[in-house]
Amino acid sequence: MAAIDGLPPLREVIQRHGLDAKKSLGQNFLLDLNLTQKIARTAGPLDDCTVIEVGPGPGGLTRAILSLGAKRVIAIERDARALPALQEISDHYPGRLTVIEGDALKVDFEALVPAGEPVRIIANLPYNVGTQLLVNWLLPKAWPPFYRSLTLMFQREVGLRIVAQEDDDHYGRLGVLAGWRTQARLAFDVPPQAFVPAPKVTSSVVHLEPIEHPLPCAAQALERVTQAAFGQRRKMLRQSLKPLGGEVLLAKVGIDPQRRAETLSVQEFVTLANAI
Ligand code: SAM
């Protein structure tokens, strides 16, 4: 029986194309099209957008994005075995899906879409690749960036770190970088049994939208301060920030040297970054 979008059920697609999940590529597939539509809807209206999807695999999320009316989808997939399955989706939605075979960490995303065209990025990725891509998307020199939003699946633990604010155990470098330039929220959790094969832990969908005018600061300086401060998160700032000026730096910006990294707001981190 065909699925709600008229294409064959994903379980059959996976079987027919021999897409046994590869651990080395972090493959945990979503087969429930209601769930993939819920993820795609979290991204916001898609009909005027080009969606860049990273890691489409057998195409569950890709199908949801297309069925919700995305003008165009550009999908980047590392596993060549998935290409014939994705070609079937492309045939079903003529002219709307372009698949690029390759490693998303090596792709120049901005160059994929003509300047000025609205872009949303949606991905269910292995979490280490996802975290690296997120940091790359958060730290371009020019801001606002080329995309309108990022809707990404992470291990729940990583999701909590992205949306964390000061005085939260999960607060760290990711929370500061995301909080500086975006409005980030944890949209909903996805239990392990929603995936095939099931991972060990719960996942979360995180949605981020760029702030148009974040506090002025050099990304590189903010990286240096957060790395030093959270590298020794249990230590007082006068100790952890010693390589960047320690007590002198803290006195210059009026921050108590006895405080610890996790108590500083994003604004205070920006002040520190601007002072080094
Ligand atoms: N989007 C599909 C879904 O939701 O069912 C698949 C998700 S699976 C967690 C991750 C996908 O990312 C796999 O298809 C895997 O081959 C692909 N992938 C892993 N590393 C990648 C990379 N560096 N660049 C592009 N795709 C990658």
Question: Are residues 53 and 183 part of one domain?
Answer: yes
Would 1 be classed as within a structural domain? no
Question: Are residues 259 and 187 part of one domain?
Answer: no
Question: Are residues 224 and 101 part of one domain?
Answer: no
270 CA from centroid of ligand 1 (Å)? 34
Q: Are 241 and 249 in contact (CB under 8 A)?
A: yes
* 96-119: pLDDT as tens digits: 999 999 999 999 999 999 999 999
Question: Are residues 16 and 100 part of one domain?
Answer: yes
Assign residue 85 the CATH number of its domain: 3.40.50.150
Would 4 be classed as within a structural domain? no
7 pocket-lining for ligand 1 (C-beta < 6 Å): no
ipTM for the complex shown:
0.99
104 pocket-lining for ligand 1 (C-beta < 6 Å): yes
Q: Is the pLDDT of residue 232 over 80?
A: yes
Q: How many structural domains does the chain have? A: 2
Report d(CA 275, CA 269) in Å as an integer: 10
Residues that constitute the known binding site for S-adenosyl-L-methionine: 28, 30, 55, 77, 103, 124
* 120-149: pLDDT as tens digits: 999 999 888 999 999 999 999 889 999 999
Assign residue 223 the CATH number of its domain: 1.10.8.100
**Atom of ligand 1 minimally distant from the CA of 28:** 9
Give the domain extent around 146.
Answer: 10-210
Mean pLDDT of 203-232: 96
79 pocket-lining for ligand 1 (C-beta < 6 Å): yes
The predicted structure's pLDDT at residue 5:
84
216 CA from centroid of ligand 1 (Å)? 35
Question: Are residues 160 and 59 part of one domain?
Answer: yes
Q: Are 262 and 166 in contact (CB under 8 A)?
A: yes
Mean pLDDT of 79-95: 97
Best substitution site from 28, 76, 78 to test ligand 1's pocket, by max atoms within 8 Å of Cβ? 78
Residue 25 DSSP one-character state: G
| Single-letter code of the amino acid located at 6 | G
Question: Are residues 172 and 139 part of one domain?
Answer: yes
* 60-78: pLDDT as tens digits: 999 999 999 999 999 999 9
Report d(CA 51, CA 62) in Å as an integer: 9
Q: Is the pLDDT of residue 1 over 70?
A: no
29 pocket-lining for ligand 1 (C-beta < 6 Å): yes
Question: Are residues 236 and 119 part of one domain?
Answer: no
Q: Is the pLDDT of residue 168 over 90?
A: yes
| Single-letter code of the amino acid located at 157 | E
- CA separation, residue 110 to residues 97, 117, 217 (Å): 17, 10, 22
Last residue within a domain, chosen from 190, 210, 230:
210
Report d(CA 52, CA 193) in Å as an integer: 26
Question: Are residues 20 and 89 part of one domain?
Answer: yes
